Amino acid sequence: MAIAGALDIERTATGLVPRRLPAWTRPQVTDPYMRLMVPRPAGVRLVLRTDADTLELDVFVTRFRNAHYPLFPVAFDAVVGGAQVISRPVRGGDLCVVRAGQVVETAPGEAEAIRFGGLGTGWKDVEVWLPQAAIVELRELRADGAVAPGRVPERKWVHYGSSISHCAEAGGPTSTWPARVARRAGLDLTSLAFAGNCHLDPFVARTIRDLPADVITLKVAVNVQNLDTLKVRTFGPALHGFLDTVRDGHPQTPVLVVSPILCPTAEDRAGPTVQDGTGRYVATGEGSSGLTLVRMRELIEEVVAVRAERDPRLLYLDGRSLFGPDDADDLYDGLHPNADGYRRIGERFHARVFGPSGLLPMSGADVRAP
């Protein structure tokens, strides 16, 4: 069995916790909320070949619920033969309540066994996708047949983004828009989508620099606006520096920079963006950055245009082409899409980027994700 999409494995007293940044970054990840994001295994999956009819995975899962909303579904998805998806909900483990990026309450739980039955006889490829919005400790895999390491697609896609790429609300790990796109285009996904934490951190740029990649996509800026972490003076240079580092390791790899999707409250108002008493996100305009989403899109497009004069493999996509004014009703909290919104983002991203008429056309398996 292989673990795809993880760049580090933390060994605990009882199992293994996949992490999405390499071990050398641990001392540099100083933000408490970022520390909660790195071990949430968006895009991470167990890849194997087996003749077993039943697989059972012992796990301990830590789930997280925003204090203002009910818990979104947390599930393991088994993809059998590249097409059939069997989803199993998580019912046990710890449940943490989060407010303003801090865990304020924890209800302890127990380990559980996730069982996938009826896989069929004969050898087959199976991927078990881990929950994108929970921390997972893997304890034991059991099967009623032989298990061997599986194979991942040859072409590698590295994607960097925020909660809108992390997709906690998607309902399951194969329903996030990057997972849908990767499966449809036949790409091996490494997801560096960290909810609340896409701030052009240098350790992420160096991680991308050192990873094998056939295509790199960077969906940036909304978290910078949300937390008011950069200014007009520093945002452009920070993006240039991030791209410089990526290009140090990938001088010829296609790189697509995507600006933010629609967020009505932040289009013409700077951050910080906070939750009000109802749980909706509201841009306060109280920061000193002056970075509205309108201005950030302008700056991103300017950075890409200047660099593209000497770097034709660097491209730009306006995020509103993925999710724009006509989609605003699917922002359940004013900032994040619901499951239907993420599905549309995936369809549009595939068409505009990897589809036959896209910016970076990819011929692949074209598996229709559910």
pLDDT, residue 100, reads 85
Greatest alpha-carbon span in the chain: 62
- d(Cα 1, Cα 146) in Å, to the nearest integer? 11
Q: What is the mean pLDDT of the chain?
A: 96
Whether 368 shows a pLDDT value over 50: the answer reads no
| Residue 232 structure tokens | 């007009």
pLDDT in tens, 144-196: 999 999 999 999 999 999 999 999 999 899 999 999 999 999 999 999 999 99
- d(Cα 122, Cα 18) in Å, to the nearest integer? 29
- d(Cα 357, Cα 351) in Å, to the nearest integer? 7
- d(Cα 253, Cα 208) in Å, to the nearest integer? 11
Domains defined for the chain, CATH in brackets: 2-149 (2.60.120.260), 156-354 (3.40.50.1110)
- d(Cα 150, Cα 55) in Å, to the nearest integer? 15
Whole-Å CA distances, 179 to 18, 105, 174, 204, 267: 17, 31, 5, 20, 28
Out of 21-30, 125-134, 357-366, which region has the weakest mean confidence (pLDDT)?
357-366
Count of other CB atoms within 10 angstroms of residue 339:
17
- d(Cα 367, Cα 370) in Å, to the nearest integer? 9
- d(Cα 102, Cα 36) in Å, to the nearest integer? 10
Whether 288 shows a pLDDT value over 90: the answer reads no
Average pLDDT of the segment spanning 80-88 = 94
- Three-state DSSP at 60 gives strand
pLDDT in tens, 237-258: 999 999 999 999 999 999 999 9
pLDDT in tens, 98-109: 998 899 999 999
Whether 73 shows a pLDDT value over 70: the answer reads yes
Q: What is the DSSP string of 84-117?
A: EEEEEE---SEEEEEETTEEEEEE----EEEEE-
Whole-Å CA distances, 254 to 58, 115, 176, 318: 39, 40, 23, 17
Whole-Å CA distances, 52 to 57, 87, 121, 129, 166: 13, 18, 6, 18, 32
Q: What is the DSSP string of 209-259?
A: HHS--SEEEEE-SHHHHHHT-S-HHHHHHHHHHHHHHHHHH-SSS-EEEE-
pLDDT in tens, 206-219: 999 999 999 999 99
Which residues fall within 8 angstroms of residue 151, CB to CB, at 6 or more apart? 47, 49, 125
pLDDT, residue 366, reads 45
Average pLDDT of the segment spanning 88-96 = 96
